[in-house]
């Protein structure tokens, strides 16, 4: 049995829509820096390998907690006080400026010394588009093709400075080696981005690119597919599908509710559901003792490359994840804990990619 990394999703107060009612702090302190630092420090110390930072769909009608910070900046802020955990902000590719996005994400990789990823979202709607004064994409796969073009442009921008470009040759009065920079000239269906990017190649070469259930248009640009599915069989089928599309790593998203603070998971869920029902979505949901959930999660270790946990209430479930669930998974021989100095690529067993411009030169 192999060991795999386990991460967490940091949505608001937790995955349950009533999570804010069970949090340890009043709603108005959700976005204070002290609270954000405390939470990410707990994640970093726990043995969790990565944290995804979800984007808020502010215009979604059912948003229980309709406030959130910019995901990349929140991740950079978290990078300043953590050492091991991978930081994966979600950012919608559609309507975004590829140049800004490439630089912001690259800055995250620099700030975290190679612990950064990008969870690509490819969502469009008349409301989202109206934020940018545009119309939503129409037609079969116009939106996802747009997302593909943005991801491709961002990836190309990351390569525009080759490694070893900084030379500081005093004699020749040259700081940079001009043979090692390139225009991106990234061509999309609706844009052309000249480049080069704003700063040298990110420490990981390329950030780890994640996507939820990428389709065949996006999949070739994705390193990690996050897959849902209500049953273990469904999860495995989706994982196989992503593998079939050539995505190197598959991570299963699992909702969890743990026995905690003297209450059973069922009791907790009951109370939370009375405040706001947690509709069964598209993910596996496990509830019970840490021992039981550890057994169930361990069963996935041979089928997927990692797990992303969605705890019902972060304040309540995270301490149990850290103190009971992860140690049990470790004892079962399935948990891979991150080490100091590892990059997110190291954690996921992904190699540092060769620069496309270097590749082109070698092949010419």
Using CB under 8 A as the binding rule, the residues of this chain from 11 to 40 that contact another protein are 20-23, 26-28, 30-33, 36-37
Which x/- pattern over 171-190 shows residues binding another protein (rule: CB under 8 A)?
--xxxxxx--x--------x
Cβ atoms of 45 and 2 within 8 Å: the answer is no
Asked whether the beta carbons of 109 and 87 are under 8 A apart, the reply is: no
From candidates 38, 123, 136, 198, binder to another protein by CB under 8 A: 198
Compute the least distance from the CB of residue 28 to another protein, in Å. 4
200 binds another protein (CB under 8 A): yes
Considering beta carbons, is residue 178 or 280 the nearer one to another protein? 178
Q: Cα dihedral angle (184, 189, 192, 197), rounded to 10 degrees? A: -40
For the CB of residue 133, give the shortest distance to another protein in the complex, in Å.
4
Q: Contact with another protein (CB under 8 A): which of 41, 42, 56, 217?
A: 56
Is the CB of 27 or the CB of 244 nearer to another protein?
A: 27
The rounded distance, in Å, linking the Cα atoms of 23 and 5 is 26
Residue 130 token pair: 């109206």
Query: In the complex with another protein, which residue's Cβ is closer, 56 or 232?
Result: 56
Number of residues that bind another protein (CB under 8 A): 72
- Within 10 angstroms of residue 117's Cβ, the number of other Cβ atoms is 29
Q: Are 328 and 71 in contact (CB under 8 A)?
A: no
- Minimum distance, C-beta of residue 273 to another protein, in the bound complex (Å): 16
CB-nearer residue toward another protein: 71 or 239: 71
Does 72 interact with another protein (rule: CB under 8 A)? yes
CB of 187 to another protein, least distance (A): 12
279-298 binders of another protein (CB under 8 A): none
166 binding another protein? (CB under 8 A): yes
Q: How far is the CB of 72 from another protein (least distance, A)?
A: 6
Q: Is 195 in the site for another protein (CB under 8 A)?
A: yes
Instruction: Between 5 and 197, name the residue whose CB sits nearer to another protein.
Output: 197
Nearer to another protein, 98 or 117 (CB): 98
Closer residue to another protein (CB): 123 or 181: 181
**CB of 2 vs another protein, minimal distance in Å:** 35
Choices 79-87, 206-214, 282-290, 353-361; region in contact with another protein by CB under 8 A:
79-87
- For residue 256, the minimal CB distance to another protein (Å) is 22
- The reply on whether position 361 binds another protein by CB under 8 A is no
| Residues in 87-146 at the binding interface with another protein, rule: CB under 8 A | 95-100, 103-104, 106-108, 110-111, 127, 130-133
- CA nearest to 117, candidates 49, 185, 164, 67: 49
Q: Which of 161, 210, 278, 357 binds another protein (CB under 8 A)?
A: 161
Question: Of 198 and 332, which CB lies nearer to another protein in the complex structure?
Answer: 198
Position 193 contacts another protein (CB under 8 A): yes
């Amino acid at each position: 049995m192999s060991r795999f990394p386990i991460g967490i999703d940091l949505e608001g107060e937790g995955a349950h829509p009533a999570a804010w009612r069970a949090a340890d702090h009043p709603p108005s302190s959700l976005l204070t820096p002290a609270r954000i630092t405390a939470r990410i420090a707990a994640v970093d110390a726990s043995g969790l390998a990565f944290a995804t930072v979800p984007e808020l769909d502010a215009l979604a009608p059912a948003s229980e907690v309709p406030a959130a910070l910019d995901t990349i900046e929140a991740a950079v802020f978290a990078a300043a006080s953590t050492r091991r955990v991978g930081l994966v902000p979600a950012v919608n590719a559609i309507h975004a400026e590829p140049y800004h996005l490439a630089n912001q994400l690259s800055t995250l990789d620099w700030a975290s010394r190679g612990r950064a990823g990008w969870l690509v979202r490819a969502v469009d709607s008349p409301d989202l588009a109206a934020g940018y004064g545009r119309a939503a994409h129409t037609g079969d796969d116009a939106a996802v093709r747009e997302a593909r073009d943005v991801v491709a442009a961002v990836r190309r921008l990351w390569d525009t400075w080759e490694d070893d470009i900084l030379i500081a040759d005093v004699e020749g009065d040259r700081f940079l080696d001009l043979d090692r920079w390139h225009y991106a000239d990234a061509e999309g269906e609706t844009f052309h981005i000249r480049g080069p990017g704003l700063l040298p190649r990110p420490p990981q070469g390329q950030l780890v690119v994640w996507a939820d259930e990428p389709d065949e248009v996006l999949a070739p640009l994705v390193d990690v597919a996050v897959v849902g599915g209500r049953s273990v069989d469904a999860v495995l089928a989706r994982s196989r599908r992503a593998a079939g599309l050539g995505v190197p790593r598959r991570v299963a998203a699992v909702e969890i509710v743990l026995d905690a603070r003297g209450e059973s998971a069922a009791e907790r869920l009951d109370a939370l559901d009375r405040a706001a029902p947690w509709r069964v979505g598209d993910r596996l949901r496990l509830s019970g003792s840490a021992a039981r959930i550890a057994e169930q999660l361990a069963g996935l270790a041979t089928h997927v490359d990692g797990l992303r946990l969605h705890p019902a209430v972060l304040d309540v479930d995270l301490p149990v994840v850290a103190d009971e669930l992860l140690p049990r998974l470790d004892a079962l021989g399935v948990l891979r804990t991150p080490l100091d100095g590892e990059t997110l690529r190291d954690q996921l067993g992904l190699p540092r990619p060769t620069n496309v411009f270097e590749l082109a030169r070698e092949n010419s």
